[in-house]
Amino acid sequence: MYRVREILRLHYELGLSDRAIARAQGLHHTTVGELIRRFETEGGQWPLAPDVTDAALHRWLYRGNGGRPKRRPEPDWAQIHAELRRKGVTLQLLWQEYRAQHPDGYQYSRFCERYQQYVKTLDVVLRKTYRPGETCLVDYAGATVPIVHPKTGVVQAAQVFVAVLGYSNYTFAELHPQQTTAWWITGHVHALEYFGGVPKLIVPDNPKPLVSHVERFEVQLNRSYQEFAAHYGVAIVPARPYKPRDKAPVEAAVLLVERWILAALRHERFVGWDRAQQRVRELLDRLNHRPFQKWAGSRRTLWEEERRALAPLPATPYPYAEWRTATVHRDYHVEVDRCYYSVPYSLVGQRLDIRVTATQVECFHAGERVASHPRDPQTRWHTRPEHMPPHHQAVQEGWDPAYFRRRAATIGPQTAQLIDTLLQRAVVPQQVFRRCYGILSLAQRYTPAILEQAAQRALQAEAFTYPAVQAFCAALAAAPAAAPVRPSHPNVRGAAYFQPPES
């Protein structure tokens, strides 16, 4: 649903055409035009009010089908073109087979017309012309740079990120440890800072860290990548899969980086990343200042002309955020990196979108933020009282710290100390009420004496969880009992009493 808002942003803020927006979003240009027409017909105004959610915007624009014309099933023109090469196969025969599978398909005349249109697109190469400040293309080079870890001596293959401006061919390159989403976006941020501005379009390939879903006419970008685009006010237009001509400038830039930078470093040995990055930057500046062979100037001089057409950088760089999904547990918490963060209890069982930054954890439901917590890996439980149900806030079933302490004292001092430790360690006492109840109930399942010994072991091992205490109880219960001592008493008859008398 957030795609509707993105289309409106690209139209009203960047002024992109319907076809450019369609390429960026993986849609047909008529779909984009229809959405903008609906928005203006309904009296919409951009920017939207802060309280308009994605779900409400979608419901407002799409109240029904609206009598859309029926789409004809499209034949597989590549397969039809291949079949026509076979002896005796005609276009009419293929149309008859097509209509047998799709009775509501094209008529024969339209079928032939569509095929002729397809044939005209074969073996056609379009030479793209890039305008100043319009396009930036990004990719990774195939070659790597070996870097030695200064402490362990392990050699790591550094990946080479490359970005280039389409008009000036002004090139940026730096080394990354791996090709993850975080490093892809970090390379984008550093490249825009190096270029000194923001272009209208960024053209990547279709890497899995950036593109979550790829089909023939559909490209779904990673949420973090979409957020990066919105922060810088840029449109993302991925190149078609297996179509290197769509990103020819960056393919050429990768080749130049491999020849003029990586080849020059082939005899150098780098211990640590700092020196390697410095050498890449030195050779990169030399490449950008290198004069053209066939016309005057260099990439640097063309960049000085193109820089005036770039949009200014935002006040702050994009803070990388990772998007995840999580289901709300029965205790109205979601798990993020082995830590638990509370959300409103009414969302128990719901699937939430989690936005994780270096300092914050935000939880979203249906596009709306429902909870926000400071990210602190040292604290396992993060619970806000307003997220708890009323009966938890008011103490459920008479449970309170004093209740559990009184009940533990009736079992023994070790159990009392264990329960007191649990209650003191909890940020909110209600977090451990169920754990305390479970531990105390072990006295009924086993015996108070066994629970006392298990509590002593748990305190020594600092294992304050129910499974740990239950495991100690099970081990103690399974231990063989000591042989009982026979009491000495004059009325107790021994084995000799049952021996037969001597004859």
Last residue of a domain, one of 345, 376, 392: 392
Residues 143 and 288 in one domain: yes
**Hunting for tokens 């004059």 — which residue is that?**
490
Q: Are residues 159 and 253 in the same domain?
A: yes
If asked whether residues 92 and 48 sit together in one domain, one would say: no
Cβ atoms of residues 429 and 423 within 8 Å? yes
Q: Is residue 497 part of a domain?
A: no
Tell me how many domains the chain contains. 5
Tell whether 252 and 326 lie within a shared domain: no
- At 126, give phi and psi (nearest 5°): -100, 120
Instruction: Identify which has the larger pLDDT, 401 or 69.
Output: 401
One domain for residues 143 and 202: yes
Q: Are residues 336 and 208 in the same domain?
A: no
503 is a domain residue: no
150 and 274, same domain (yes or no): yes
CA distances from 432 to 423, 462, 474 (A): 7, 16, 22
Domain-located, residue 43: yes
Of the pLDDT bands very low, low, confident and very high (cuts 50, 70, 90), residue 87 is: low
> Is 429 a member of any domain?
yes
| Strand stretches in 290-367, DSSP E | 322-327, 333-336, 339-342, 351-356, 360-365
Which residue type sits at 338? R
Same domain assignment for residues 327 and 452:
no
Q: Report d(CA 102, CA 96) in Å as an integer.
A: 10
Mean pLDDT computed over 161-186: 93
| Range among 24-28, 191-195, 431-435 rated most confident | 191-195
Please indicate, yes or no, whether residues 377 and 431 belong to a single structural domain of this protein: no
Strand 235-236 relative to strand 201-203, pairing: parallel
Domain boundary among 257, 288, 309: 309
Residue 380, pLDDT above cutoff 50: yes
- Residues 455, 469 contacting (CB under 8 angstroms): yes
- Per the domain annotation, does 373 fall within a domain? yes
Q: Are residues 50 and 165 in the same domain?
A: no
Pair (330, 408) in one structural domain? no
Band of the pLDDT at 483, cuts 50, 70, 90? low
pLDDT, residue 396, reads 47
39: domain CATH number is 1.10.10
Distance CA 379, CA 373 (A): 12
Using alpha carbons only, what angle is made at residue 294 by residues 289 and 295, rounded to the nearest 5 degrees? 65
Whichever domain contains 139, its CATH number is 3.30.420.10
Report the relative pairing of strands 201-203 and 135-148 from DSSP bridges.
Answer: parallel
Decide if 354 is inside a domain: yes
Structure confidence at residue 464 (pLDDT): 87
- Helix, strand, coil percent values for the chain (each to nearest 5): 45, 15, 40
**What is the residue range of 367's domain?**
322-392
Among 323, 325, 327, 324, residue whose Cα is nearest residue 350: 327
CB atoms closer than 10 angstroms to residue 344: 18
Top pLDDT among 204 and 78 is at 204
Distance CA 503, CA 109 (A): 126
Q: Are residues 287 and 139 in the same domain?
A: yes
Q: What's the pTM value of the predicted model, to 2 decimals?
A: 0.54
> Does 128 map to a domain?
no
How confident is the model at residue 229, as a pLDDT?
93
Last-in-domain residue among 309, 331, 359: 309
Q: Is the pLDDT of residue 333 over 50?
A: yes
Spatial separation of the C-alpha atoms in residues 485 and 494, rounded to whole Å = 14
In a domain, 275, yes or no: yes
CA terminus-to-terminus distance, the chain:
105
Confidence check: pLDDT of 190 > 60: yes
Q: Which residues pair with 150 in a beta bridge?
A: none
Distance between CA atoms of residues 251 and 259, nearest Å: 13
Return the minimum-mean-pLDDT range out of 34-48, 308-322, 348-362, 489-503: 489-503
- Name the residue among 240, 43, 28, 16 with its Cα closest to residue 131: 16
How is residue 119 written in tokens?
């044939």
